[in-house]
């Protein structure tokens, strides 16, 4: 679920940070730049783990800051396909279930990736798994749920003007419900499934 990745970058240290030890100033700036950001094809950066190399500072004419080449490691949230994770049901719709892991909520379980016999109940605003003629199991909002990662989706999201709306990923991902909230495309999303033993509400298997 979490990985360490090595990155190199040129960091600008402003004069108001000169009173700090150089490693502390660099790490603060790196966390501001990278923490809680998505790096395309890499994943969601959680935090800077450590500094591997800090070069001497460079000065630029007309700029009072110091520029430092650094090599460092970051903690990245990037589950592998097939990994089983646990989260909470954030919302339900006739397209599927959106899952929240507190620090990451762009996780979607499409209806075609759910248990056979599952259906959406608009009255209950929940998905129901009809196990047999007598047994119904509910997937309600805020329930703790186990799910399996099936696919990663990265999008090159760029700044847009007020009249330039974002387009969706692909026709396949649209049907999988990736772009269902306010028609916004997340830079990083996960498609998951809930259709094998141990998946679904944690309370079912306790």
Which segments of the chain have a pLDDT < 50?
A: 164-171, 174-175, 177-182
Q: Are residues 31 and 131 in the same domain?
A: no
Residue-averaged pLDDT of the chain: 87
Judge whether 127 and 118 are in contact, CB under 8 Å: yes
Q: Are residues 115 and 24 in the same domain?
A: no
For residue 179, give both structure tokens: 């772009």
Judge whether 136 and 182 are in contact, CB under 8 Å: no
Among 77, 112, 144, give the residue marking a domain's end.
Answer: 77
Predicted local distance difference test score (pLDDT) of residue 183:
52
Predicted local distance difference test score (pLDDT) of residue 62:
86
Phi and psi, residue 8, nearest 5°: -115, 145
Among 34, 56, 77, give the residue marking a domain's end.
Answer: 77
Q: Are residues 63 and 107 in the same domain?
A: no
Predicted local distance difference test score (pLDDT) of residue 119:
93
Domain count, the chain: 2
Phi and psi, residue 16, nearest 5°: -70, -5
Q: What is the CATH number of the domain that holds 142?
A: 2.40.50.140
Q: Are residues 196 and 102 in the same domain?
A: yes
Predicted local distance difference test score (pLDDT) of residue 159:
65
Q: Are residues 54 and 95 in the same domain?
A: no
Q: Are residues 25 and 57 in the same domain?
A: yes
Q: Are residues 100 and 171 in the same domain?
A: yes
pLDDT, tens digit (0-9, with 9 covering 90-100), for 117-168: 899 999 999 999 988 878 889 999 999 999 999 999 998 877 665 654 444 4
């Amino acid at each position: 679920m979490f990985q360490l990745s090595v990155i190199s970058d040129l960091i600008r240290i402003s004069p108001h940070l000169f009173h700090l030890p150089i490693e502390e100033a660099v790490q603060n700036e790196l966390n501001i730049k990278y923490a809680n950001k998505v790096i395309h094809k890499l994943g969601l950066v959680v935090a800077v783990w450590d500094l591997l190399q800090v070069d001497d500072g460079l000065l630029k004419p007309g700029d009072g800051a110091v520029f430092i080449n650094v090599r460092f490691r970051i903690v990245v949230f990037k589950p592998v396909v097939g990994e089983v994770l646990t989260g909470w049901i954030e919302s339900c719709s006739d397209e599927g279930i959106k899952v929240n892991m507190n620090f990451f909520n762009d996780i979607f379980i499409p209806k075609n990736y759910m248990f056979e016999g599952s259906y959406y109940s608009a009255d209950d605003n929940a998905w129901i798994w009809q196990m047999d003629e007598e047994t119904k199991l509910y997937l309600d909002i805020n329930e703790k749920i186990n799910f399996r990662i099936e696919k990663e989706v990265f999008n090159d999201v760029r700044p847009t003007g007020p009249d330039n709306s974002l387009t969706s990923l692909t026709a396949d991902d649209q049907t999988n419900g990736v772009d269902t909230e306010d028609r916004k495309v997340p830079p990083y999303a996960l498609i998951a499934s809930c259709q094998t033993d141990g998946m679904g509400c944690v309370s079912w298997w306790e």
